[in-house]
Amino acid sequence: MSSRGDTTLWILQRASAAVLALCVAVHLFTIVYAVRGGLSAAEILGRTRGNHAWFVFYAVFVLAVAVHAPIGLRAVAAEWLGWRGRSRDVCAFMFSALLAWMGMRAILAVFA
């Protein structure tokens, strides 16, 4: 990949990290807060079903993960396995698509 392409990925990873820092904090805080009185599936679904704010929040969370993780793995592949070039980038992209698909599927399941 060109140095401009590398730079774009670097910026995307740093930007997604900033989004994740916020999302993870909100996510953990919500977990701790929500389980205080015990936790049930019905309670979770009661909170998430039809809740557009939660839907948008977790959609952003999932997309940030789908951007962040594969770029990091791409660097790990290069430095630890010596795996560089197009095949690695294609695999990283496919992993990104997999994360996005699994994440969005889970969100839709508790939203719809």
Partner 1 sequence: MLRVSVWRGGAEGSLESYEVPRHPSQTVLDVVTHIQHHLDPSLAYRYACRVGMCGSCAMTVNGVPRWTCRTHVDKVAKDGALEVRPLRNLPVIRDLVTDMRVFFDKWERAKGHFEGAASRADDFARVPPETQDRKAVDAGIECIGCGVCYAACDVVSWNPDYLGPAALNRAWTLIRDVRDEKGLERLRAVAGDAGCHACHTHMSCTERCPKHISPTAAIAGLKREVLKRAMDGSL
Question: Under the criterion CB under 8 A, does residue 90 sit at the interface with partner 1?
Answer: no
Phi, psi values for residue 49, rounded to 5°:
-65, 120
Residue among 108, 71, 107, 112 nearest 92 (CA)? 71
| Torsional sign, CA 12, 18, 24, 27 | negative
Binding segment for partner 1 among 4-12, 20-28, 52-60, 101-109 (CB under 8 A)? 4-12
| Cβ-based nearer residue to partner 1, 18 or 56 | 18
Spacing of C-alpha 98 from chain mean position: 11
Question: Under the criterion CB under 8 A, does residue 10 sit at the interface with partner 1?
Answer: yes
Instruction: Please give the helix or strand (H or E) that residue 107 lies within, else none.
Output: helix 86-111
Question: Under the criterion CB under 8 A, does residue 11 sit at the interface with partner 1?
Answer: yes
Among 43, 79, 83, 87, binds partner 1 (CB under 8 A): 79
Binding stretches for partner 1 (CB under 8 A): 1-8, 10-11, 75, 78-80
